[in-house]
Every structure is written in C-alpha cells, then in structure tokens.
C-alpha cells in the first residue's frame, strides 16, 4: 500500500466515516451463524450443513493465505 493510498483512505473516512468491511467478513459471519444453527438440525441434514460450514471456512482460509490447490 502506497503512501498516497493511505492518504486517500483517511480522506474518505473523514468525508464519510462508514466502512465496508472486507477480507471475508461476510463469509465468516455466515459460517458462525450457520454453525450456531446446525445444532438444531436433526438427522442427515446436520452432516450436510456441517460439511457446508467446513467448506466455507476452508475456502476462506485458502483465499486468505493465497493457497490454491490443484
């Protein structure tokens, strides 16, 4: 990140202090909410839901560390 980029970020925050969070925040919030919900799910659906949460968090981990499996 260059000095100019940092200054632009500060300038934009002064003009409008609303921040849009990135870095997978929406996906993490989704996986936390689904993880809490999965305990209420019964039967085979619980396994499928847990697998979905696992896949979501694994994908986030790979994206965040720039690990792309072939």
Structure confidence by residue, pLDDT tens digits, 28-60 = 788 788 888 888 888 888 888 888 888 877 766
Q: Which of 7-11, 42-46, 61-65 is predicted least confidently?
A: 61-65
Cα–Cα distance, 38 to 32 (Å, whole number): 10
Whole-model pTM: value is 0.49
Q: Residue 42 contacts by C-beta under 8 Å, 6 or more apart in sequence?
A: none
Question: Cα torsion for 55, 27, 35, 53, to the nearest 10°?
Answer: -10
pLDDT > 70? residue 23: no
Q: Would you say the C-alpha torsion 37, 40, 44, 50 has a positive or negative sign? A: positive
With a pLDDT cut of 90, the percent of the chain lying above it is 0
DSSP reduced 3-state for 16: coil
């Amino acid at each position: 990140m260059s000095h100019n980029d940092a200054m632009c970020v500060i300038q934009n925050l002064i003009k409008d202090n609303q921040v849009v969070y990135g870095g997978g925040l929406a996906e993490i919030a989704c996986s936390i909410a689904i993880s809490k919900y999965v305990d209420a799910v019964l039967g085979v659906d619980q396994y499928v839901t847990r697998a979905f949460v696992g896949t979501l968090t694994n994908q986030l981990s790979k994206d965040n560390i720039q690990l792309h499996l072939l």
